[in-house]
Amino acid sequence: MKIGNSELIRNIDNYCINDLGIPSIVLMENAALKVIKNIDFQKFKSFTIVCGTGNNGGDGLAVARQLFSMNMKIDVFIVGNHSMSKDCFANYNILKNIGIDIKHIITSEDMINLREALLENDMAIDAIFGVGLTRKIEGIYEEVIKSINKSNSYIMAIDIPSGMKCDSFGILGTSIEANKTISFEVYKKGFLDYEGEKYTGTIIVEKIGVPEYVVNKFHHKEYLTEIGDVKNIIKKRNKCAHKGDFGRITIMAGSENFTGAAYISTEAAVRSGAGLVTLCTKKSILDILKSKLVEAMSMSYEDIAFEGVISNSDSIAIGPGMGNNELTLKCVKNILSKNGCPVVLDADALNVLKGNLELLKNSKRKIIITPHMGEMSRLTGVDVESLIENRIGIAVNFAKEYKVIVLLKGYNTIITDGNEVYVNSTGNSKMASGGMGDTLTGIIASFIGQGYEPFKATIVSAYIHGYCGDILSKEMFCVNASHVIEKIPYVVEYLVK
C-alpha cells in the first residue's frame, strides 16, 4: 500500500482536475460513497455529521446527503464562519434545497444542539479538517472536537482525523479520536505515528476513481508492506531442489554471557529454510552451543576451516551477543574488508561501528544493518526523541550516504535502501522480549542465503517475524523468541500457498 503526504494528494487532485478533466466534485462524491460503504447499517441508524468549510467538509455534506437518501436520521453541523470551498458550497446548497436543516457552530452558545445530537445518535462523522491542516486547533474547533471525543458515539473520521498531522507525526493541539478512519488513495504518513492508532482507530484506505498511473506519477516510493507484497516475493520450492540450493548461511554470534543470542539467531536461520547453517563463535562457549544446535554446524573463530566457511557463504550475519569489544570490531573489519556475499550487521556489530563508519563506506559487500532506536542514535549522533520524530528521513539519508540497507526496528519498522521505503505492518508489543532482534537477524540472513535479493529478503523477513508474533498473540499473553522460531516454517508455507 502506498504511503503519501498532503503534497501528493494536492498533485493528484490537480492532475485529475486540470489534465484529465475529472471534476473535483466527482472525486468528492466518490469519496462519500466509499464512506457509506464502510458503515455497518445493522448497528448504526442515526448520525451526527460535523463538517468544516473546506473540501473535507464537502465530503461530509455529501455523506449526509447519501444517508438522508437512505432514510437515516441525520443531524448536520458546520463549524466556523470561514467561506466555503466551491465543492463544499455546492453540496451545502444541495442539502438546503432538499430541506435538510444545517446548524452552524460559531460560538460556544451554538454547542447545545451538537451535544444533544451526539447524545441521541449512534455515530459521529468527523469531516472538519482534512490533510491540508497545518495550524494549531483552537477556539470553537477545539471545543467541538473535545465534545465529539467525550461523547459515547462511535466516531468515524473522513480521510484523516481532524487535528492529526498528515505529513509528520503528532497532533495540532488536539485531535479527533476515531474508532475508524476512511482514508482515500494512499495511507497518510501521519498514521505512522507511534500514538497514531489512538486517533485513527481502524484505518481503511479506499480508491475514489484516480487512475493508478496518476498516483504513481507523483508517489515517492514509500509503502506499507501488505501480505500480498510478501506473497509476491516468496517462491514455491522446486521439488527437485536439495539443501545446497537453499544457501550456506554463517552466523557469527555469542559470548560467555550471551550464548542465547547465538543459539536464537542460528535456530531462526535454520527454521526459515536455510540449507546449511554454521555458527561461528568463541571457543570458550563452543561446546555449550554444540550440545543445543542439532541441525546447524558450529565452529570457533580459531578453527582452521573458518576462513573457508566465510568465503563459501551465501550470506553472513554478525553481532548477536558478541559484546562491544575489540574482538567484535576485528571480526567486522575482517568480513567487511573482503569481497563476498551480503552481510547482516546487528547488535554489537553495530555498536562497534560507532566512530568506524568508514568500514561501511569502504566495503564492497552488500550490507544490511538492523539497529533499534538506541543503536541508530549511537550511529548517527541523533538523539532518540528526534530520531523517532524523523525516523523515515534519517533512515533514508543513512542508507543513501553509506550505500546500505537499513532496517530500523520499532513499531512500524522502517526498511529502506535509500531509494524505496517499506514500513512493516506486522508485530506487536507482546513480542517485546529479549531475543526478538536475534531472531529477525537469523531470518534475514536465511532468506538472503536462499537467493532472495537482499532488500526484498529484508522486507519479507520483517513481515514474517511480526506475522508470527501476531498469530501467536491471539492466544498468548506474551510471545518469546522461541515461540516465533517454532512458528516460522508454518507461516512461510501459508504465505507460499
- The C-alpha cell that represents 313 in the structure block: 557463504
End-to-end CA distance of the chain: 21
**CB environment 452-486: b (16+ within 10 A), e (fewer):** bebbbbbbbbbbbbbbbbbbbbeeeeebbbebbbe
Task: Please tell me whether 237 is known to bind a ligand.
Answer: no
Residue 261 annotated as binding?
Answer: yes
Q: Is 410 annotated as a binding-site member?
A: yes
DSSP symbol at 73: E
The verdict on whether residue 324 carries a ligand-binding annotation is: no
Q: Are 354 and 325 in contact (CB under 8 A)?
A: no
427 annotated to a ligand binding site: no
Q: Taking Cα atoms as reference points, which of 179, 159, 202 lies closest to residue 8?
A: 159
Q: Is 247 annotated for ligand binding? A: no
> Is 62 assigned a ligand-binding role in the annotation?
no
Contact 47, 126 (CB under 8 A): no
Spatial contact of 178 and 164, defined as CB atoms under 8 Å apart:
no
Return the C-alpha torsion angle 371, 376, 380, 385, nearest 10.
160
**57 is an annotated ligand-binding site residue:** yes
Q: Is 170 annotated as a binding residue?
A: no
**Would you say 412 is a known binding-site residue?**
yes
Is 58 annotated to bind a ligand? Reply is yes
Q: Is 300 marked as binding a ligand?
A: no
**What is the C-alpha to C-alpha distance for residues 297 and 315, in angstroms, rounded to an integer?**
15
Residue 152 marked in a binding site: no
Report whether 132 belongs to an annotated binding site. yes
Q: Which three cell numbers stand for residue 344?
A: 547482516
CA dist., res. 483 & res. 311, Å (int)? 33
| Whole-number Å distance between alpha carbons of 368 and 165 | 31
- Residue 162 among known ligand-binding residues: yes
- Report how far residue 238's alpha carbon sits from residue 225's, in angstroms, rounded to the nearest whole number: 26
Flag whether 133 is marked binding.
yes
Residue type, 485: I
Q: Is 136 annotated as a binding residue?
A: yes
Is 59 assigned a ligand-binding role in the annotation? yes
CA pair distance 197, 239, nearest whole angstrom: 44
Of 447, 254, 418, the C-alpha closest to 342 is 447
Find all residues with CB under 8 Å of 372, minimum gap 6, and list them.
408, 409, 410, 437
Which residues are within 8 A (CB) of 90 and not within 5 positions of it... i.e. 6 or more apart? 25, 58
Enumerate the known binding-site residues for K(+). Answer: 56, 126, 162
Enumerate the known binding-site residues. Answer: 55-59, 126, 130-136, 141, 159, 162, 261, 321, 372, 409-413, 437-438
Enumerate the known binding-site residues for AMP. Answer: 409-413, 437
Enumerate the known binding-site residues for (6S)-NADPHX. Answer: 55-59, 130-136, 141, 159, 261, 321, 372, 438
